[in-house]
Amino acid sequence: MRPGDRFDRYVIERVLGEGGMATVYLGRHETLQSAHALKVLRVDVPEIKRRLMAEGRVQSGIRHPNVVAVTDILDTQQGVALVMEFVDGPALDEYQDGRPLPVDEALELFRGIVLGVGEAHRVGVVHRDLKTANVLLHHTSNAGVIPKVTDFGLVKVFESSGTKSGVTMGTPEYMSPEQVRDSAKVDPRSDLWSLGVILYEMLTGDVPFDGDDMLEIYNAIAKARFVPLRELCPEAPRWVDQLVSDLLVVDPDARIQNAEEILARLDRPASTPVAPSSPPSADVLPLSSSFPATLALALVGAGFMFLALGGVMLALLFANTPAVPASREVVLAVTGLPEGTERVVRVDG
């Protein structure tokens, strides 16, 4: 679609991002004149359509200032689209651009991310693909920024009945050990591991687990082998170093157990030099002068296959919009899922 074209009730203004299966447009409601992001599916595949609509339903049920809102699902002769809140800032990884953030800025942004993830967990959703590329930064009217978690195309709706087996996806550098080993063991604590990776990356400019190939990354994750935070960020307080260490614990039972515990650690006494404030609804951080004004919303897909961990795993390679460095994502296919015990959805783009 081109500027001026219409998609249902929305007039297209420009492309915000493009992925392997969907394009994200800035659209304006023809009556209300309100701006929205439209994630429009480009492929006519029933299963992909079902997954996109499932993504929209899940994300629309998470109502929080630190989560990108989905306001509608359009299923028309023109195609299928999610209507989302328009976020006018970049993704966190684009904003950071490989550089460490100041400790106080990183902690304030992190607190907002934890609030959004905690709300998802409260309503029974595990994100499974938390990373800096899936956090968008929204400008506020008072020259601040609110971090917003997005891309719930890879969620697990966890249920008390448990899961025998299923399909797991994720970006290798951010995946928890249990997500690598066995999808049946993934619960909200897996997202907490990913939050530890995000905090480490914000403070150091790099992820704690990296390698030349995915098996090397997985080996580092399985052993929780990483350079201690304070070696790369000596200005970080010891309690922040301990927070990262307590999130990046291989055994989920020995890890921090919930988002509330992370927030309790962040809400330090006033005597702690970098303790963030605690706004009632969403965390707002003053913008630095280097804050870009672009938006990264889409994922670009490419695929490959590999053999590991005693079975054949199908790996799909995704990246964000062209302005964002490529990220590797993997799919592990497991059989034997009883009907109705787990729903796992993923949409590229």
Q: In terms of residue numbers, what domain contains 107?
A: 92-162+172-296
Assign 153 a pLDDT band (cuts: 50, 70, 90): confident
Mean pLDDT of 92-97: 96
Mean pLDDT of 268-287: 47
* Per-chain mean pLDDT for the chain: 80
Domain C-terminal end among 85, 115, 141 = 85
Nearest Cα to Cα of residue 65 among 115, 129, 28:
115
Same domain, yes or no: 64 and 152: no
Same domain, yes or no: 216 and 276: yes
Same domain, yes or no: 121 and 254: yes
Q: What are the pLDDT digits (tens) for 154-193? A: 777 765 334 445 454 679 999 999 998 876 678 999 999 9
Q: Is residue 311 part of a domain?
A: no
pLDDT of residue 302: 35
Which span out of 2-16, 42-56, 256-270 was modeled with the highest average pLDDT? 2-16
Same domain, yes or no: 69 and 217: no
Same domain, yes or no: 151 and 125: yes
Same domain, yes or no: 139 and 256: yes
Choice among 8, 97, 104, 129 that is catalytic: 129
Mean pLDDT of 6-10: 96
- The reply to whether 129 belongs to the active site is yes
